[in-house]
Amino acid sequence: MATIATALPRPPTARPRLRRNPPVSGLAGTTDVLFVKHIENSRLRREVDRSKQRECYRLLALLVLVFAFGFAYAWQHFQCLRLGYDIQGLKDERTALQQLNRQLRLEQASLADPQRIDTLAQGEGLTAATPRQLIQAGSVAPTASSPEFARNVLEPVLAATPDSVPGSPGKTPSKEQ
């Protein structure tokens, strides 16, 4: 058969096919038979290498230390950012409260304006106080025996009819009439 394949002409575009794994020896066509041998290792103990164990523990301790420092740095950084945002919020709140304080002071000044109060009082039918109606406020409160108290309180009463005030020197009402 090999002679027939060489005798036939090959097509001009076809390339010869190469074998990927050519057999190294003459045993390439034989099948291998493998037997499983069970090995019992239950009684064996691995010998612990103390130097390698120490090296592993040192590496583990170094990794824990690096992680702890990294975590502390990150926590500190995020705390700094959070506090920065809190400070900015408080500054904004302070600015808003200062603006509100300015507005309230302006409103208080406009409401306490004497000309405005006088205009509102005249609109309600109130008149300016006479000097007799004024009571001076001092550090000492007037007592019942002080002349200012008597003058300010009793003068309007005496200005009324003298007959109606008991104990006045005028005419007293009697039961005989």
pLDDT tens profile 18-71: 666 655 666 556 677 788 888 888 888 888 899 999 999 999 999 999 999 999
27 part of a folded domain: no
pLDDT band per the 50, 70, 90 thresholds, residue 106: very high
Domain range for residue 112? 72-121
93 part of a folded domain: yes
pLDDT band per the 50, 70, 90 thresholds, residue 94: very high
- What does the pLDDT read at residue 41? 85
- What does the pLDDT read at residue 177? 42
- What does the pLDDT read at residue 92? 98
- What does the pLDDT read at residue 130? 85
Phi, psi of 29 (to 5 degrees): -90, -5
172 part of a folded domain: no
pLDDT surpasses 90 at 168: no
116 part of a folded domain: yes
Cβ count within 10 A of residue 158:
11
- What does the pLDDT read at residue 110? 92
Alpha-carbon dihedral of residues 80, 84, 90, 94, nearest 10 degrees?
140
16 part of a folded domain: no
- What secondary structure does DSSP assign to 43-110, as a single string? T--PPP-HHHHHHHHHHHHHHHHHHHHHHHHHHHHHHHHHHHHHHHHHHHHHHHHHHHHHHHHHHHHH
Over residues 119-124, mean pLDDT = 90
pTM (2 d.p.): 0.40
- What does the pLDDT read at residue 149? 57
pLDDT band per the 50, 70, 90 thresholds, residue 104: very high
pLDDT surpasses 90 at 102: yes
pLDDT band per the 50, 70, 90 thresholds, residue 146: low
153 part of a folded domain: no
- What does the pLDDT read at residue 28? 58
167 part of a folded domain: no
Domain total of the chain: 1
Q: Which residue has the higher pLDDT, 131 or 177?
A: 131
87 part of a folded domain: yes
